Chain A
Amino acid sequence: NAGVMQNPRHLVRRRGQEARLRCSPMKGHSHVYWYRQLPEEGLKFMVYLQKENIIDESGMPKERFSAEFPKEGPSILRIQQVVRGDSAAYFCASHDRSRSYNSPLHFGNGTRLTVT
């Protein structure tokens, strides 16, 4: 089992560009979470998705950020017109929801976004 795969590991963007972060969940997992982590800080919930459906996006900024998890392919977190404050590590996690609420999240290695 390859685990949760995120790419790229590091992404550098200039202000105003778009950033696209990809996440493939563990095999057999159909639910994905995205978290943002600023340096020396905790994990801030952004969005919770299943294939073709956003379940909870209460942590997503209202503008410039969007997420999807298509029927085929990885989940994508998209940040348009990036600003310096978007620089952070973005972690994806997946779990096996068929095992009920008490199945742990498995995290990917994260994408470290740097906006210059």
Chain B
Amino acid sequence: GENVEQHPSTLSVQEGDSAVIKCTYSDSASNYFPWYKQELGKRPQLIIDIRSNVGEKKDQRIAVTLNKTAKHFSLHITETQPEDSAVYFCAAVTSGTYKYIFGTGTRLKVLA
């Protein structure tokens, strides 16, 4: 069945450093890849997404890259701040099924 692997499960960085989270998907028909941020006790919120016809997308300090051949995509956060501390989830979506398969999450801790 469909599967999305996400690494690392936890990540600690110093404030101002960069953070990178990687996801690998199994369904080659996946063509939409959103990223969600979930703060403690709150709902997941979309922070950035990328379609399969694009290799990279950037929004201020956040960027996502996609390698369709290798079936992996990554989230990059630059100049991290304490408020970036949260759990981040990647997801892969297949147009035919509309099924959003989420990764297992990465707990990011930004140390002041």
CB 8 Å contact bits of B94-109 with A (1 = contact, 0 = none): 1111111111110000
Q: Is the interface of A mostly helix, strand, loop or mixed?
A: strand
CB pair B98 A91 closer than 8 Å: no
Selected interface stretch from B43-51, B58-66, B71-79: B43-51
Q: Is A45 an interface residue (CB 8 A)?
A: yes
Within the complex, the shortest CB–CB distance from A57 to chain B, in Å, comes to 11
| The residue from A41, A48, A104 contacting B46, defined by CB atoms under 8 A apart | A104
Which residues of A are found within 8 Å of B96, using beta-carbon distances? 101
Assess whether A102 is in contact with B46, with CB atoms less than 8 Å apart: no
Q: Which of A13-21, A68-76, A107-115 contacts B (4 or more CB under 8 A)?
A: A107-115
Asked if residues B31 and A107 are in contact (CB atoms below 8 Å), the reply is no
Known: A48-B99, A101-B94, A102-B32. Is A91-B104 also a contact (CB below 8 A)? Answer: no
Mask for A15-50, Cβ within 8 A of B = 1, else 0?
A: 000000000000000010101000001111100100
Instruction: Give the B-binding residues of A (Cβ under 8 A).
Output: 31, 33, 35, 41-45, 48, 55-56, 91, 93, 97, 100-102, 104-110
Q: What are 28 pairs between A and B in contact, CB < 8 Å?
A: A31-B98, A35-B102, A42-B102, A42-B105, A43-B89, A45-B101, A45-B102, A55-B98, A56-B97, A56-B98, A91-B44, A100-B95, A101-B31, A101-B93, A101-B95, A101-B96, A102-B32, A104-B34, A104-B46, A104-B49, A105-B34, A106-B46, A107-B43, A107-B44, A107-B45, A108-B43, A109-B43, A110-B43
